[in-house]
Structure 1
Amino acid sequence: MMLISNVFLCLICRGSTKEKIEKETGVQIILPSSKQNDSIIIEGTSADSVAKASEEIQRVIDEAVKTASFDYSHFVSLPLAIHPELVSKLVGFQNSILGSSDACIDENPDGNSDGDNSEDSAQEQQLGNISVELEVADDEESVKVDVSVRPLDSNAPKEKEEPKSSNKSDLKIGKSVFIKPQTFHLTVLMLKLWNQKRVDLAAQVLKSTSSRVLDALDNRPVFVRLKGLDLMRGSLAKAQVVYAPAEEIDSENRLLHACKIMIDAFVEAGLVIDKDAKSELKLHATLMNARHRKRGKKGRFSSFNARAIFEHFGSEEWGEYLIRQAHLSQRFKYDENGYYHCCASIPFPENISS
């Protein structure tokens, strides 16, 4: 199966791209006749022509996943929302800014920091499921290959326009920029896993690092301290991402070492795009992200003025928290507690070794 944006599917199967593939390979690409039909068919006079068309589509996919318009599907996270006291602080933070007593804990379920490394994206795409069936029906007239197209199981609702309200505080920030408290986490690595084979491989890679991660942590619990605020991009007047810096408490860099082991394993397995492989790790917990706001007239994500927020919360003590696991998380899909769907996880030490 291939995870791929519906917009990109259209790019492959329509207009000049579709015609080019058909002309060069001698096949015909038949598109679904209705939204209820979930497959396209590649028809050719031989298995070889169909295979060449499939390879060309795969090449286009491989190039597309390197672009910003093909968004991340998974990421490696260190969950923090497992700590109820932290979730309560986040709700209080949001309500203080919104000037409301209504916890926005259930609002904006797709407003999460799993895209912290992807705010360069031109737009956030909904992913879909493409199953390339290479079972060839060979007869005297044609060869057919079914390519099933199914929507990815997603809880992410369509982005809603921020309602006008006279009850907000002087900070005048809308709900949509806030990260959902139940999804709060530290981001380790963003991933584009566009087929089930890559998802399975990513799960295996994470699990394979378990013993080395425990060694890097010296089989001792690791705590982080969250304090203050910082900007990922933009300025105070035009903020895009506001986050809480994370600091390992014992200053031995055990956590950073463990994270590097995981990142290197994913890079070695060929699961990380070049841009992300070269990025320097900055452990952070995003609180607000402008990418979740209503887009402007030119389709751009508007920034927000964070000056008053930094004045009020710039030295906020968020607390010290135990990191209990590393998590291969799937975007737009959530578990019963509101955290991201877990594709795989490895435990971190919770008790001091004797």
Structure 2
Amino acid sequence: MNILQPQIVRIGNRRYRHNHSTFKSNDPIEPYEEETDEMFVERKVGLLNDEEYNDEACYLECKQIPAVSDQFNQIEFVNGYYKLDLCVAEAFYGSLIGRNGEKKSKLERDTQTSVRIPRRNQGDTVTIEGNDKKSIISCLNRLQLMIQTARSQKPFTHLITFPLKFDQLKHRFKEFIDLVLRDCSQDRGVHESIFQLPNKLHLTVNICTILSEFELDQAASLLEKCKKSFISDLLNGKKLKVQIKGLEYMNDDPAQVDVLYAKVTGLDSVNALQSIADGIMKTFVESGYARKQFERVKLHATVMNSLRRVDMSVDNEFEDKKESKSQRESFDCRNILKFFGDYDFGIYVLEEIHLSLRFTSAPDGYYECISKINF
């Protein structure tokens, strides 16, 4: 993550910078002892004392948070108290409970609620109970912040991509590989193992952390929402045509490159491709499933990645911190740029966006598709 562009967490009309702590890949991680969520909520949000939690302004502000607002009408009044059932992936239970139940107890004490979290393999419904709706909403708000922080510490599980499953592109890409190996194989670090697999060429929109069947259903619904709310209007019945031509690299020294990619250009006057990618990224970041890594989506097709030298399962350049700690040997792409810098991979019409499971292969060689939308 770029520390100069920290993740922004929205709470009502306010915004807070979410500073992720860094750690070494061999540092032990004990899920029942993480303090990041407590530190984040207490120091950055400052909504934890009883007086502030019961304040009417805080209550109204919480109601305006989309994730909270969606749950507001589901609060029930049962036997003299208020109750809300919330679907939570089991992977977050440790972060919500804490060692010896300390986090859960503090959450209940601060929000004046009772929180019931199932035992492992006993379901995915967390129940909040309280004497009034304000307490329920306050607890829900804090729970979601804790979940959001815990999610940011877990590895990415899914990709949102424009698949580039075109026979002509595969042919042109294989030709590119053969030419580079013929003319540049003597250059430092250039080896056939670092090329992308032709069947997995794609444009990455975002990478997500999705940890339960319920969350997968929500993610699929978000894709459909994107299609209905802005993608259809942007395309307005027209085809999404792009040109893939030219090469660029992701650092300042072409002699020390880790990722080389093909440039992608939309062939329409309104640049619908960029707008669609940015809109999807924004939707998934606001949902909490994705992390904002750049201000806008960098549309490109990775063709060479030095991480593939040590791990052939690497699927894109935005790797998790643990993965990026792997020993990687950069490569010298100066001659590749000199000889093939304007290489033309062709013009194509994009027709699908996939939500796919990382590190998988479907029968056609692409990633296993969990959900998709067609244009």
Question: Fold match, TM over 0.5?
Answer: yes
The answer to whether structure 1 residue 218 and structure 2 residue 236 are counterparts is yes
1:223 aligned counterpart, secondary structure: strand
Q: What is the match of residue 87 of structure 1?
A: 170
Cα pair distance change 1:58/1:270, threshold 3 Å: closer
The offset of 1:13, in angstroms, is: 6.3
Cα pair distance change 1:192/1:14, threshold 3 Å: closer
The answer to whether structure 1 residue 185 and structure 2 residue 202 are counterparts is yes
The one-letter code sitting in structure 1 at the alignment partner of 2:233 is D
The offset of 1:329, in angstroms, is: 1.6
The one-letter code sitting in structure 2 at the alignment partner of 1:329 is S
For residues 307-337 of structure 1, give each alpha carbon's deviation from its aligned partner in whole angstroms, at most 9, with x where no partner exists: 1111121011111011011111211112110
Task: Trace 1:57-76 onto structure 2 (pairs within 5 A).
Answer: 62-67=148-153, 70-76=154-160
Q: What is the match of residue 128 of structure 1?
A: none
Bigger RCO of structures 1 and 2 (CA < 8 A, at least 6 apart): 1
The offset of 1:219, in angstroms, is: 1.3
The answer to whether structure 1 residue 291 and structure 2 residue 312 are counterparts is no
1:76 aligned counterpart, secondary structure: strand
Q: Which 5+ residue runs of structure 1 have no aligned equivalent? A: 1-6, 27-39, 43-47, 49-56, 101-167, 349-354
Cα pair distance change 1:65/1:304, threshold 3 Å: farther
2:168 aligned counterpart, secondary structure: helix
Percent identical among aligned pairs is 29
Q: With structure 1 as the length reference, what TM-score do the two structures score?
A: 0.60
Q: What is the match of residue 368 of structure 2?
A: 341
CA distance in 1, matches of 2:34, 2:341: 52
Q: With structure 2 as the length reference, what TM-score do the two structures score?
A: 0.56
For residues 53-87 of structure 1, give each alpha carbon's deviation from its aligned partner in whole angstroms, at most 9, with x where no partner exists: xxxx99987545424xx432112111112x10110
The one-letter code sitting in structure 2 at the alignment partner of 1:98 is L
Q: Which 4+ stretches in 1 moved above 6 angstroms?
A: 13-18, 57-61
Q: What is the match of residue 325 of structure 1?
A: 352
Q: What is the match of residue 117 of structure 1?
A: none
2:251 aligned counterpart, secondary structure: strand
Contact kept? 1:171, 1:309, Cα under 8 Å: no
CA distance in 1, matches of 2:103, 2:248: 52
Contact kept? 1:207, 1:344, Cα under 8 Å: no
CA distance in 1, matches of 2:276, 2:225: 13
1:252 aligned counterpart, secondary structure: coil
Larger helix proportion, structure 1 or 2? 2
After superposition, the CA RMSD in angstroms is 3.7
Q: Which 5+ residue runs of structure 2 have no aligned equivalent? A: 1-24, 36-93, 105-118, 122-126, 128-142, 312-324
The offset of 1:268, in angstroms, is: 3.2
The one-letter code sitting in structure 2 at the alignment partner of 1:318 is F
Q: What is the match of residue 165 of structure 1?
A: none
Q: What is the match of residue 201 of structure 1?
A: 218
The offset of 1:207, in angstroms, is: 1.4
Q: How many residues align?
A: 245
The offset of 1:266, in angstroms, is: 1.8
Cα pair distance change 1:207/1:304, threshold 3 Å: same
2:30 aligned counterpart, secondary structure: helix
